[in-house]
Amino acid sequence: MLVCLWLSPVWADSCPPQAGCLCAADILSCTALGLQQVPAEMPIFAVTLDLSHNRMVQLEAGSFTGLNRLETLRLAHNQLNTIRSGAFRNSSGTLLRHLDLSSNQLRVLEQHYFQELPGLEELLLFNNRIVHVESRALAGLTNLRKAYLSHNRLTDFPFFSIQKHSHPHLSTLDLSSNRLPKLPLEDISNLPLAVQEGLYLHNNSLVCECSMYGLFRFWEQRGFNSVKFFQQEHICLVYGLQRGTLRFFQSGRYFEKCNLTALKEPLKEQQSSVSVKAGKALLLHCVTSLSGRSVTFLWVAPNWEYVVPPGNNGSLKMFANGSLEIVAAREQDSGIYWCMALDQQRQQNETWEVNVTVVLHHDGDGHEPFNTGFTTLLGCVVSLVLVLMYLYLTPCHCPPCPKAHPPAAATSTPGNEAGPGSAQSSILTPTPPATTEGPGRKVSTNKHVVFLEPISEQQNGRLRVGQGSGLTVSSLLIGAEQQPRLHRATETDSIMSVVSDTPIMLP
């Protein structure tokens, strides 16, 4: 396989003097060269710097000065055990998004390690010898999304330092394959939901306890990937048993006496958006990592009303632990509730926001969608049936009309101006006409429904009335006993019909 590497002619002379470093576009690679320190001269336009698989022991202050465009820094597979204060100072800072320190010999994550990297999004620290993480080691990483600390020697972790306001984008925290004996259940339950869903704790030295069993069962019910894909690796230690270890999800009999109902209470999701029906009570918790007697709480209602214990005039109650109760929710209680926890002794404060929506509930609201839908459906069905009846069912079955034999000569008489061959007469009389004129004649009992308008058309620029009797039907003829309302044509209409140049073809 042929591999082509494009070397930038502009940077070719800017590569570090160590033989083997490659400059390709904005990438600088000095891997597996036995380097014991960061090269002093590097191209200032480097975006990706790869120094992995070398022999560096520590990072000195200002090691990456001048690399103002650096976004990815790889230092994996070295022998780093110390990172001096200011090691990343004067580098790209906010632009550096990916930092790989995996497979080194770091033992303690100190709080100054990543202070100059507020834009860091992905931090790889797995396969080190880390035994302790200082409480503020990750404090300044507000853009952090993924942190991998698996395969270390951690016996504890500052879960309380991970909060919604301090790490709003964090979705993956890998602490698997460490030596954690116990988990602070309260601190973990206060983690943002996104962090809980991406918190990996398998292959640790956890002691078999009901609290941790309830935690993993709760995550299993929620379908978290950290439990779904690593069920076999969730183990715990049992002292006194020959086997020594149990699998949380395959040892139900051992935990059958655990009261999971009581365990689920502290594991309830701390939602940042809740809803409540009008008239019902709602309890809001002030989620914070601060604790102690020196911590005080303050709530701000949507109408900018400050609430402190024991509450206001009765609609809001506040407790000493920071919880706020809406006694009977009203429409005006909807909005953002803001809580602040203040530790005056340590001069620290944390905030928490909850969006409350009051749902107005009326009797019969639950049935309204069904009634409306059912009524619409019924109306459609009835309309469809009526259309089918109109199309396929006739009101009466009339015998075929016998053809009348016309006389030898069709002439018009004053008493009957319309002859049998008249077009108007043939439309009006689909059956042999019955008339009341003359003695002894009876009205026909046949029933017909006829919608008819006078036949007219434009002829030579003038309106021509249909040929025939000179009588026009302009009403609805219904039933045999109802006589049509006849209007006699005017003399002008008769003359117009006579002088028309359109011949009338008689049968």
Residue 500 has pLDDT above 80, yes or no: no
462: confidence class by pLDDT, cuts 50, 70, 90:
very low
Which residue from 268, 303, 291 is spatially nearest to 350, judged by alpha carbons?
A: 291
Distance CA 396, CA 139 (A): 90
E strand or H helix at 212: helix 210-222
Residues 21-30: pLDDT tens digits?
A: 888 889 999 9
What are the start and end residues of each CATH 2.60.40.10 domain in the chain?
Answer: 273-359
Q: Per residue in 167-178, is it b (16+ CB within 10 Å) or e — as a string? A: beebebbbbbbb
Cβ neighbourhood burial of 41 (10 Å; 0-12, 13-18, 19+): exposed
Which residue from 124, 86, 79, 134 is spatially nearest to 106, judged by alpha carbons?
A: 79
Average of per-residue pLDDT values in the chain: 74
Instruction: Output the CATH code of domain 273-359.
Output: 2.60.40.10
pLDDT for position 483: 43
Sign of the CA dihedral with 457 first, then 459, 461, and 462 last: negative
Distance CA 426, CA 472 (A): 13
Average pLDDT over residues 395-417: 51
Q: Which backbone phi and psi does 203 adopt, to 5 degrees?
A: 60, 45
Q: Do you know the residue count of the chain?
A: 507
Tokens of 190: 């206060």
Residues 144-182: pLDDT tens digits?
A: 999 999 999 999 999 988 988 889 999 999 999 999 998
The most confident of 13-17, 41-45, 75-79, by mean pLDDT: 75-79
Residue 193 has pLDDT above 70, yes or no: yes
